[in-house]
Chain A
Amino acid sequence: MDKAIIVDHLVKNFEVNVKEPGLTGAIRSLIKPLKKAVHALRGVSFSIQTGELVGFIGPNGAGKTTTLKTLSGLLFPTSGFVEVLEHDPWERKPEFLKQISLVMGQKNQLWWDLPAIETFELNKAIYEIPTREYEENLNELTTLLEIKKHINTPVRKLSLGQRMRMELIASLLHKPKVLFLDEPTIGLDVVAQQKVRDFIYEYNKKYQATIILTSHNMDDLINLARRVIVIDEGKILFDGALEELVSRYAKEKIIKATLSSEDNIKDLDKIGKIKKLAFPEVVISVPRSATAVAAAELLQNFAVDDLTIEEVPIEDVIRKVFRGELRK
């Protein structure tokens, strides 16, 4: 399989004007502006195969959006190599732009006062989509996203969920081969989230589209991304399968047991950290290396009816990622 995206030692620095609060600060920054360099990306390298769906995760300000913007040609890399579909994104050649799309959950391209269909028609012209193809795509997308009846409603009157789905349609009418999704489910209710998620899954399958997804929504990642890239402070901390992320970073395992009597129940905390105790159920987290010993001890000293050993839930690991706890 060929590579759709290649990123090698990508560095992006921003210059930020630092201003102290108040009037004196304002005057001081006018006379002697204090520039501070922000290192948004410090040497990021990865590559993505055609048809892959990759989740980008990390805490706020980790560099996810900066990476997506660089890949779509909005930002000029400070140094490093970027190639998407064999193009340098920065050149922003029409052939390249016609094959990609960037969807940002908090940024809209729809014309606020006009019905969404007007934006679609405009995009049809901009991307030079043949009329028949356009109608087919529009029909398919509106059906998949269950939003057909709203395309003639002015955008200002749509709910956030409906608007987000319209944004997706506007970004996908030209059938991009590479899709960058930045927080596509942000602010949506559970039902709308599910619709968008199902759709992304379908789109990836059906068109072999390469998709990079950033999200703070754990369900998005667990349901969609088989491969995740963890990024924090402008560096890649992990790149691999989601399950691998768990086994690498979860330093503990979970023992779940059902007890038949309450004898010695106070001694349970000698085995490990009690996460939940509601007789007869008990959940204990123990260090990975000591799992077998802990399980044996539990069976020996307590009246155990049933016992299972499990991995830490994916959610817990991802939550750690968002808190920026992986960097230690």
Chain B
Amino acid sequence: MIQIFVAFFLWDKIFENPGRIVFGYDRSKILTYVFAIIIVRALVLSARAADVAGDVAQGELSNYLIKPMNYFKYWFTRDMSSKILNISFAFFEFIILYLILRPPLFFQQNILIILAFLVSIVIAIMIYFYMLFIVSSVPFWAPELGWGSHFLVTIILIEFLSGALFPIDILPAGIGQVVMSLPFPYLIYFPVQVYLGNITGALLVKGLLISSIWLVILGISMKYVWSKGLKVYEGVGR
């Protein structure tokens, strides 16, 4: 909520003069971007799987390993329920903020674009899930680094590089291109831009391709890291 206010007022201030265009964005575009983030954030970045690190460090993982259940599916289900909860909160947040701030809104009507948006959201959710699990396996080797590594990845990298604070295309072209080849912008920036109709055609296909490749890479890495991690798992805390 506060993050949204900060982002909103920051951009609102910059675009005080209605005719002003900064980084190719005018006032209504940037405010729509900020508002779209509310929903996409709730869909993608609300996940419980960050707690996996605690399970590993404290040995709680044993309770799950001993049962005939799939630990990944267990957390994926928890993530999903967390998303449903968060999306309903985000909905209220959205309405309240809308009533207070009255930003210009943009509703996508092209079915194909909405479909592409949904695909990009699914990819984003999976990428984030895999990322969390990979980061959460750090405590297999260094139990005390669980929180630190989460801070580094979820706060620093994801907040800055996912587009949750600012659209990636305001970065200088060179840096922007590097960032776009990383998995992070496909969490927030890419789905939002697809929804807003700013990424279409060849760029859309390219983006979906890059994010799918990352999805596969991260999925394989996660399986690998976990199978290695479980072998050194000590089930501490008795």
Contact = CB atoms under 8 A, between A and B. Distances in A.
Interface stretch (A99-107, A191-199, A298-306): A99-107
A6 B66 CA distance: 19
Contacts of B234: 14, 75
Interface stretch (A65-73, A202-210, A224-232, A272-280): A65-73
A98 B68 contact: yes
Contacts of A74: 62, 65-66, 233, 235
Residue in B59, B69, B232 whose Cβ sees the most chain A Cβ within 10 Å: B69
Contacts of A101: 66
Contacts of A97: 66-68
Contacts of A98: 68
A76 B231 contact: yes
Contacts of B174: none
A98 B68 CA distance: 6
Given A106-B238, A107-B63, A107-B238, A94 B68 contact: yes
B65 A107 contact: no
Interface residues of B, number: 16
Contacts of A14: 234
Contacts of A92: 65
Contact of B68 (A72, A76, A102, A127): A127
SS class, residues of chain B in contact with chain A: loop
Contacts, number: 48
Residue in A75, A98, A123, A128 whose Cβ sees the most chain B Cβ within 10 Å: A75
A65 B66 CA distance: 14
A94 B62 CA distance: 15
A126 interface: yes
Interface in B158-195: none
Interface residues of A, number: 26
Interface string A53-83: 0000000000001000100111110000000
Given A14-B234, A75-B233, A76-B231, A107 B59 contact: yes
Interface string B198-238: 00000000000000000000000000000000111111011
A84 B227 CA distance: 21
A109 interface: yes
A73 B63 CA distance: 12
A109 B63 contact: yes
Contact of B237 (A72, A75, A107, A126): A107
A263 interface: no
Interface string B38-62: 0000000000000000000001001
Nearest to B65: A74
Interface in B69-86: 69
Contacts of B68: 94-95, 97-98, 126-128
A126 B66 CA distance: 11
Nearest to A16: B234
6 contacts: A65-B238, A75-B234, A100-B66, A102-B62, A104-B62, A106-B238
Question: Nearest 10 CB-CB pairs, A to B?
Answer: A94-B68, A97-B68, A76-B231, A109-B63, A74-B235, A106-B238, A98-B68, A126-B69, A74-B62, A102-B66
Given A94-B68, A107-B237, 8 more contacts: A73-B66, A74-B235, A76-B230, A97-B67, A97-B68, A100-B66, A107-B63, A126-B69
Interface of B: 59, 62-63, 65-69, 230-235, 237-238
